[in-house]
Amino acid sequence: MMLAEQTQPLFPNWLVKLLWWFLPDGFEEEVLSDLEETYFSIVEKHGSFLAGLWFLVQIPQNFAAAIHHRIFWNFAVFADNMKMALRHLIRHRAYSLINILGLAVGLACALIILLYVDHELYYDRDIPDVDRLYRVSEHRVVPAGEFILASIEAPVAPAINENYPQVEAAGRIHSLNPGMVQNHEISSFEKNIWYADPSIFDLFGIRVLSGDPVENFGRKNTLVLTNSLRKKYFGETDPLGQTLKIRVADGFRAYEDREFEVVGLIADGTSNSHFKYSILVSMPSMWESYPRIETEWHSSGFHTYIRLKKETDAVEFSAIIKELAYKYVGADFAKWGQTRGYYLQAVQSLHIAIPLRGEMEASGTRQVLLIYKGWHR
């Protein structure tokens, strides 16, 4: 009869089973039989208590021997396999090189595709409360055709703030690209320059490193710039209170080099965000160049964003604001044979959505991304 069956009252059966598992194949019966014989010999001479103590001492000793045996032979087998592999590589150099390079290229391509897909699918996910952040887009029908616009009219954001308590914040940006930026002897065209409302800092979670841009964006000819541009134009000096010249349109035809005061320094944005910025200019600076556009319901170009309150349903609110413009200029639409409707687009899905007219950048292709990642709809 086996030891595990006869001695269960004296010591845990799981110790015997564990020892059995650790012992090398083919040695289990032999080792346990020796332990069993010695155990019952001690029981006859000194009693079961001392025999149990002796057996407990044997358990860790045999564990150590079994573990050493497994490690030694596993390593020996591994070393032997490595020797065989190296001999094969040396004998068949060209064949081995092709296989290794093919494996390396395949792994590298797979890693690049994985990183690309991850980068594209997680666009705009770093924005705080992005699940409540939406862009207001427009479906416009005119006698000349039908348009779906990513950028809309300047008065929409103030009108939404004024009329709908379901909205926590609203803001606009308008492109100033390309802009010639000058600072003494440094002069360069910069991309991603935007006129912006003060609320944009909160809506997109733009991290302010120094200064108070929100407080100062209520006045004209002020700007903030990213840390990377600060190094380019000001080196390691503090840019706050200093000025940069930017070539801006003065009206619709002429251009002028206008001075802007630096009122803030912001962190650089992430690469996987549809809203890329290097310089943000206060929105009142635009009204100086285009005084009528602030209240103009027939001139688009403003990317408009809102953040809904937590209890607000986005689908229902999208239907509510659809005919917002009719409250202000509905008579003009009837006279011109035009219809206009606004709707919401979730910011976190903009990059892989169907691109609209006036997008900031080329959109990703959702179907291609899903194929790359091996997903199925």
Check residue 30 and give its pLDDT.
Answer: 62
pLDDT digits (tens, 9 = 90+) for 249-296: 766 666 888 999 999 999 999 988 999 999 999 999 999 888 889 999
Does the pLDDT value for residue 28 go beyond 60? Answer: no
**Same domain as 297, residue 179:** yes
In this structure, what token pair is assigned to residue 133? 């952040």
Q: How many CB atoms lie within 10 A of CB 266?
A: 23
Residue 178 phi/psi, 5-degree rounding, is -80, 150
**Same domain as 245, residue 354:** yes
**Same domain as 97, residue 68:** no
Please count the structural domains in the chain. Answer: 3
Beta-bridge mates of residue 170: 306
Check residue 65 and give its pLDDT.
Answer: 64
Does the pLDDT value for residue 18 go beyond 80? Answer: no
Task: Work out the percent of the chain whose per-residue pLDDT is above 90.
Answer: 45
Element (H, E) at 98: helix 93-121
Check residue 337 and give its pLDDT.
Answer: 86
Check residue 92 and give its pLDDT.
Answer: 87
Helix axes 326-336, 156-163, angle to 10 degrees: 130
195 in Cβ contact with 173 (< 8 Å): yes
**Same domain as 187, residue 322:** yes
Question: What is the pLDDT confidence band of residue 66, given thresholds at 50, 70 and 90?
Answer: low
**Same domain as 53, residue 19:** yes
Question: What is the pLDDT confidence band of residue 368, given thresholds at 50, 70 and 90?
Answer: low
Which of the 8 DSSP states describes residue 269? P
More confident residue, 11 or 183: 183
User: Structural domain of residue 147, as residue ranges?
Assistant: 130-373
pLDDT digits (tens, 9 = 90+) for 207-244: 999 999 989 998 999 999 999 999 999 988 999 999 99
CA distance linking residue 139 with residue 300, whole number of Å: 12
Does the pLDDT value for residue 377 go beyond 50? Answer: no
Element (H, E) at 189: strand 186-190
**Same domain as 173, residue 310:** yes
**Same domain as 236, residue 308:** yes
Which of the 8 DSSP states describes residue 18? H
**Same domain as 190, residue 98:** no
CA distance linking residue 112 with residue 115, whole number of Å: 5
Question: What is the pLDDT confidence band of residue 49, given thresholds at 50, 70 and 90?
Answer: confident
Check residue 27 and give its pLDDT.
Answer: 58
**Same domain as 197, residue 81:** no
pLDDT digits (tens, 9 = 90+) for 95-125: 888 999 999 999 999 898 888 888 887 889 8
166 in Cβ contact with 150 (< 8 Å): no
Hey, what amino acid is at 130? V
Does the pLDDT value for residue 165 go beyond 80? Answer: yes
Check residue 376 and give its pLDDT.
Answer: 44
**Same domain as 218, residue 105:** no
**Same domain as 345, residue 357:** yes
CA distance linking residue 162 with residue 18, whole number of Å: 74
Does the pLDDT value for residue 44 go beyond 90? Answer: no
**Same domain as 277, residue 179:** yes
Average pLDDT over residues 1-5: 43
Dihedral angle sign, alpha carbons of residues 258, 208, 274, 305: negative
CA distance linking residue 371 with residue 375, whole number of Å: 6
CA distance linking residue 61 with residue 64, whole number of Å: 5
179 in Cβ contact with 279 (< 8 Å): yes
CA distance linking residue 318 with residue 293, whole number of Å: 25
CA distance linking residue 278 with residue 229, whole number of Å: 7
Check residue 109 and give its pLDDT.
Answer: 92
pLDDT digits (tens, 9 = 90+) for 288-336: 888 889 999 988 899 999 999 999 999 999 999 999 999 998 888 888 8
Mean pLDDT for the chain overall = 84
Last residue of a domain, one of 101, 121, 141: 121
In this structure, what token pair is assigned to residue 274? 């549809």
Q: Is 267 helix (H, G, I), strand (E, B) or coil?
A: coil
In terms of Cα–Cα distance, which of 194, 352, 161, 369 is closest to 275? Answer: 194
